Structure formats: C-alpha cells, structure tokens
Amino acid sequence: MPPNRKPEDTLLKKPLTLGLSQSYPSSALSTALKHVKIEMEDTDLPDLNSSCFGAIRMDKGPLDDDELKPLGWLHTTNVLKDINLDDDDEEDESYSKENDVGSNTYNGYGYQDDPMDPHRHINSKPPFSFSCLIFMSIEDCPLKRLPVKEIYRYIQDHFPYFRTAPTGWKNSVRHNLSLNKCFRKVDKIKGQSLGKGSLWCVDPDYRPNLLQALRKTPYHPYHHVLPYSPYGFSGGPLSNISSNQNRLSTVLSAYNGVPIPAHIALVERLLNSQLTHNQAHQNSLDLECEVDAAATMMMFRTPPDRRLAEHDRLKRESYPGARPIANQNLIIMGGLAPIQIRPEQPHCRPTLSDLAETALNELGDNRISRVAVTPENREMLKAKCTPSPSGMDHTYSLSSSIKVQADHGYSSDPGDVEMSDFSDESFEDESDMDQESRRLGDSGVHFHLEGGKRVDEKEALLPLKKRPPRMTEEDKKLADALLILSGIGAEAMPAKEAGSPGPEESTDVMMTEEVLEASR
DNA sequence: TTACCTTTAAACATCA
DNA sequence: CTGATGTTTAAAGGTA
C-alpha cells in the first residue's frame, strides 16, 4: 500500500479530481474546462454514413420487468399511470408485430439489421469500460450500493459475454473498484452482517465523470461531436442553466451516449433520480417537461414513424391539459437518432431538427430557444442533406451557419405547428427552403428554457462564432463549486428568486433513500 | 513521441 | 484450510 493512502482513506472524502484515472489525478476545474473547451471547438458534423458504432450484446431483453419500473415517481404521482412500464417479453413480441416498419422489421429492440441491435455481435465484448459497467450496476440498484458479487452478477446478466469469458474480468472489476477513485467502499453498519466484503458505491464527487464516460462511449453516431453535454444529467459545470435544458440535454445525451435499448431503463433511472430531486423545487411547467422527458424515453421503444403520434397520445393521457408544443423538440430530437443511424434508410438524411439538436448540443447554453433556417444556412443544409459520394468529406460547421433567435417560454400559438413540420427530410429546391424558413420563422424549433437568461435579440442573431464565449468567470467559479458539491445534488441550482431552495447537501444516494423511505 | 487511460495478469493479504 | 474479497504492482496496448 502506498504511503499516501491509508486504509481509512477509502472511507474518507477523496481529493477532488476529475476523470476516471486510477493513477493520474488532475485539477477538477481545469479538466472540466478542458472538456467544455473541446466541446465548444469541436463543431463539425460527422459523416453519418461513416459513423462508428456497434452493438452490445444482450440475450436478455431490455424490457424486463425490473428494468421497466424506474419511473416509480411517475406512478406515484399518477402522471404516467397509463404508460405500461411492465411489459414482458410476450408484450414485446406483440408490440413488434404491430410495429413492423417495412421490410426492416422493428423487433422491439431495434431493427433487425441495425448495428445497434443487441442481438448482433453475440460474442463481442461490450463497448463499456469496467468503470462504466460497475457504474451501471451500482446505479441500477435502488440503494446505489452493491457488493462485488452483485456487481459481477449484474454484468453477467446484462452482458452475457462475461458469462463465458475467462475469469480474469472479475479480477479487473475488483482492481477497478480498488483503484478507481470513482468507487468507494461503504461503511458497514454496526451489527449488520453482510458476509464477506463490503458494499461499493459511486463517489458522488465522481459521478459526473462516470456519466460523462458513459456518454463518451464511442458506439453512437455522434460520439465525437454530440456525445454529451457537460451541462446535462447531474448538472455539470454550468448547471445554473435551466432545468428544462438540462432535461433536454439529459434525454439527448443519455440517448446518444448509451446504446439502446439495453440501458434505457438505466437512463430512465438516472433521469428519474434527477426528476425526483427536482420535483420539490420545480413548478408545474417543469413537471410537464419531465413528463415529456419520461414519455420521450418511452418513445425510444416505439418505431420512429410512430413516435410522434404515440408520444402525443401518451402526453395527453398522462398529463391533462398538456400543451402539445412543449414536447415537440424533445420527441423529435429523441426520435431522431434511430433514423440518423440508419444510413440505408432514405430518411436518414439529417433533418432540420437534426441540425437543431446539433446546435443545442453545440451551444450548450440556455440562450438558444429557437433555431432558424436562414439564407446562409441554405447551402449547408442542402449539402448536408445530400450525402457526399466519398462519404468521408461530409462535415460542416453549424456554428457559422445556424442562427438563433431568442424565444423564451411557450409559443403563444402552439396549435399552428404540426409535428410533421420537423420531420421534413430534405429540400429539393429553393422554394422548399424558403417555405421551410418561413415556417421555422413562425414557429421554429423551440427550446423552452424556463429560467434561462434573456438573450438580446441582436446578440442572439449573430452568427454563433461571433458571439461571446459562454464560459464566464462566474461560470468557472460555479463550475468549481458544483464539482465540489458534486453529483446529482448539484443539478440545476440557478440563482432563483428569494425563498427558492438552495444547493442541496444531499447526494443522489441520499435522495434515493429518502424517496424510498417516503414511498414505504 | 508522450502522457494518459484501460485492461490484464499476478502476487499477496485479509476475512468469513 | 478454502474461497472470496481487496490491494498493489507491472506490463501491454490503445488513444488523444
């Protein structure tokens, strides 16, 4: 044992370092800022056709009972009572039968020839590091703590590769638990006999890093451009931005960063943990957005061509009085990826909402509420919608071409926006583009950013690269503070009006326990 | 090329 | 004693 680490250290607060390194701690803020910087600079869109992604193997469907119950709070609040979260395999089968999409059948998990299909690459190793696997296993446990044996079991259950793999991987798991700063042994409760070994949990300080690592899994089409938002999920460095945008980022980054559908349930839980935390602090508008997010997550199981209608139905059934406009960007963006990752599909060409999604991720701040097509965008859009013959030189910078408009709050007239407006795939000629521009000019792709900073109209309309940098000194200080506060407890702590709850001291683990306690 | 990260293997200690 | 668990070191390969 090295002199700088005593046995008790495992039970104490570890020094705050970012990253998953086992040996090379670094400055939290500098590393965080490095990631932010990378994301700001890396603005080119990848060629969708040459995307590198694959599948994880799953011999157990992603829709197991256990995995489809993470939206407990929605049940308890009666918000999504009509959404069946307890599908079993039988239901999945009927589901897939009902939802065949052309010759390329949707089988309830994905498409038969989809590289993301969990049934492919049966003998391949999952595309997750051991840190991620351990993280997933712990996060998937209600109490957020597991003995090593249960971690093994989780990994084997979800990644059957390990059922037959040489036993060395268990050594790797233990090695990772011991050496990786992200994991901590939990204090044993006096008198409680757990048998051999301890429980392991995720250090809240490092939870954002694990989430980031999970999102950075290279098995999705945008891994080098849109893998995550540093502001998503548990409230990254700039989590003073609106919770709604966090929700958007959460859904998007969760979806982009984690191969579907194997970890939809996990993503739902991660999302849920944040929702639960926010419930006490958010108004009904946010709740509605959360319902949107939850319903959107459910949509990942719905074939793309049925998502809009299905989402609309769920939304209306689960949230009476819901405004339809509220979910459009979510459902559209949430529903896009399966289309985008299918180059053999004619409608895989990037859509306006694709661009909007990219812009949202790229910008990552809360000043953007509308992405509009402008004349300057036109050529880029056309090019983007026409895959290059080589399939390799197909990158564009949105920063210089997408312009934004300020638009906070809900559209005054949501009814005039058809969801299908945003699923337009291409622009055959200039008149189409003009039409689309006008349409977007009227209704746009709205990002509802409740609580966001107001954007000066002039500034908002500047080409993005000319706009001032996002990371202010204040942001940097906040980033540091939040990293110290860490974890999900740091999510969305905007400087609200007096009386609003301040930063929580509780961690997500504590939060979960509180919720469990309350539900008993 | 270098620094860093991850995996793998192995040795050893501790504990039930 | 045995097997599971936990710690540490080392090396190799990959990546940015």
Q: What is the DSSP string of A283-305?
A: -HHHHHHHHHHHHHHHHTTS-HH
Which 3 state secondary structure label does DSSP give A1? coil
* Higher-pLDDT residue of A269, A513: A269
Question: Is A21's CB less than 7 Å from nucleic acid strand B?
Answer: yes
- pLDDT category at A216 given cuts 50, 70, 90 is low
Tokens of A188: 């044993």
Mean pLDDT of A382-389: 33
Check whether A209 has a pLDDT greater than 50. Answer: yes
Measured in whole angstroms, how far is the alpha carbon of residue A200 from the centre of its chain? 25
**Which residues are paired to A17 by β-bridges?**
A27
What single-letter amino acid sits at A296? T
Report the pLDDT value the prediction gives residue A211, as an integer from 0 to 100. Answer: 75
Question: Is A84's CB less than 7 Å from nucleic acid strand B?
Answer: no
Question: Is A24's CB less than 7 Å from nucleic acid strand B?
Answer: yes
CB-to-strand C under 7 Å, chain A 54-113: none
**Ramachandran angles phi, psi of A273, nearest 5°:** -65, -30
Question: Is A195's CB less than 7 Å from nucleic acid strand B?
Answer: yes
Tokens of A371: 């992405």
Q: Among candidates A481, A358, A453, A399, which has minimal Cα distance to A32?
A: A481
Q: Give yes or no for a contact between A505 and A487, defined as CB atoms under 8 angstroms apart.
A: no
Q: Whole-angstrom Cα distance, residue A152 to residue A165?
A: 12
Report the pLDDT value the prediction gives residue A194, as an integer from 0 to 100. Answer: 59
Which 3 state secondary structure label does DSSP give A311? helix
Report the pLDDT value the prediction gives residue A124, as an integer from 0 to 100. Answer: 66
- Most confident of the ranges A145-154, A428-437, A483-492: A145-154
The residue with tokens 């459910």 is A298
Question: Is A279's CB less than 7 Å from nucleic acid strand C?
Answer: no
The Å distance, CA of A24 to C1' of B2, is 15
Check whether A179 has a pLDDT greater than 80. Answer: yes
Name the nucleotide with the smallest C1'–CA separation from A128. B6
Which nucleotides of chain C are near protein (any atom < 7 Å from a CB)?
3-10, 16
The Å distance, CA of A22 to C1' of B16, is 29
Report the pLDDT value the prediction gives residue A128, as an integer from 0 to 100. Answer: 81
Check whether A156 has a pLDDT greater than 90. Answer: no
Report the pLDDT value the prediction gives residue A309, as an integer from 0 to 100. Answer: 59
Instruction: Work out the mean pLDDT of chain A and round it to a whole number.
Output: 41
Check whether A3 has a pLDDT greater than 70. Answer: no
Check whether A173 has a pLDDT greater than 90. Answer: yes
Mean pLDDT of A362-384: 34
Task: Write out the E strands in A306-386.
Answer: 370-372
Q: Which residue is nearest to nucleotide C5 (CA to C1')?
A: A197
Question: Is A26's CB less than 7 Å from nucleic acid strand B?
Answer: yes
Name the nucleotide with the smallest C1'–CA separation from A22. B5
Mean pLDDT of A44-48: 25
Q: Give yes or no for a contact between A421 and A437, defined as CB atoms under 8 angstroms apart.
A: no
Q: Whole-angstrom Cα distance, residue A361 to residue A46?
A: 14
- pLDDT category at A157 given cuts 50, 70, 90 is confident
Q: Give yes or no for a contact between A400 and A465, defined as CB atoms under 8 angstroms apart.
A: yes
- Among A200-204, A274-278, A352-356, A499-503, the range scoring the smallest mean pLDDT is A499-503
Q: Which residue is nearest to nucleotide B16 (CA to C1')?
A: A196
Q: Whole-angstrom Cα distance, residue A424 to residue A445?
A: 13
Question: Is A3's CB less than 7 Å from nucleic acid strand C?
Answer: no
- pLDDT category at A212 given cuts 50, 70, 90 is confident
The Å distance, CA of A165 to C1' of C6, is 22
- Among A34-43, A275-284, A296-305, A359-368, the range scoring the smallest mean pLDDT is A34-43
Q: Give yes or no for a contact between A451 and A242, defined as CB atoms under 8 angstroms apart.
A: yes
Q: Which residue is nearest to nucleotide C9 (CA to C1')?
A: A1
Q: Among candidates A439, A253, A467, which has minimal Cα distance to A361?
A: A253
Check whether A520 has a pLDDT greater than 50. Answer: no
Report the pLDDT value the prediction gives residue A189, as an integer from 0 to 100. Answer: 58
Question: Is A14's CB less than 7 Å from nucleic acid strand C?
Answer: no
Report the pLDDT value the prediction gives residue A306, as an integer from 0 to 100. Answer: 55
Q: Is A403 left (phi over 0), alpha (psi -120 to 50) or beta?
A: beta
Q: Whole-angstrom Cα distance, residue A476 to residue A31?
A: 12
CA dihedral A122, A123, A126, A127 (to 10 degrees): -100
Q: Quickly list H helices, A187-242.
A: 207-215
The Å distance, CA of A24 to C1' of B4, is 8
Check whether A453 has a pLDDT greater than 80. Answer: no
Question: Is A147's CB less than 7 Å from nucleic acid strand C?
Answer: yes
CA distances from residue A190 to A162, A193, A393, A514 in whole angstroms, order as listed:
34, 8, 62, 21
Report the pLDDT value the prediction gives residue A308, as an integer from 0 to 100. Answer: 54
DSSP state of A423: G
Which 3 state secondary structure label does DSSP give A11? helix
The Å distance, CA of A53 to C1' of C3, is 40
Question: Is A125's CB less than 7 Å from nucleic acid strand C?
Answer: no
- pLDDT category at A370 given cuts 50, 70, 90 is very low
The Å distance, CA of A500 to C1' of B16, is 50
* Percent of chain A predicted with pLDDT > 90: 4
Which 3 state secondary structure label does DSSP give A94? helix
Report the pLDDT value the prediction gives residue A152, as an integer from 0 to 100. Answer: 92
Report the pLDDT value the prediction gives residue A175, as an integer from 0 to 100. Answer: 94
Give residue-wise pLDDT tens across range A457-490. Answer: 222 222 222 222 333 343 334 333 333 322 222 2
Question: Is A52's CB less than 7 Å from nucleic acid strand C?
Answer: no
The Å distance, CA of A169 to C1' of B7, is 9
Which nucleotides of chain B are near protein (any atom < 7 Å from a CB)?
3-11, 15-16
Tokens of A14: 């570890």
CB-to-strand B under 7 Å, chain A 358-397: none
Mean pLDDT of A417-434: 28
Q: Whole-angstrom Cα distance, residue A82 to residue A259?
A: 26
The Å distance, CA of A454 to C1' of B2, is 45
Q: Give yes or no for a contact between A149 and A197, defined as CB atoms under 8 angstroms apart.
A: yes
Q: Which residue is nearest to nucleotide B10 (CA to C1')?
A: A171
Which 3 state secondary structure label does DSSP give A88? coil
Report the pLDDT value the prediction gives residue A6, as an integer from 0 to 100. Answer: 33
Name the nucleotide with the smallest C1'–CA separation from A183. C6
- Most confident of the ranges A39-48, A70-79, A91-100, A149-158: A149-158
- pLDDT category at A80 given cuts 50, 70, 90 is very low
Q: Whole-angstrom Cα distance, residue A417 to residue A33?
A: 38
CB-to-strand B under 7 Å, chain A 88-147: 125, 128-131
What single-letter amino acid sits at A239? S
Check whether A296 has a pLDDT greater than 60. Answer: no
Q: Is A261 left (phi over 0), alpha (psi -120 to 50) or beta?
A: alpha
Domain map (residue ranges) of chain A = 7-142+204-473
Report the pLDDT value the prediction gives residue A123, as an integer from 0 to 100. Answer: 59
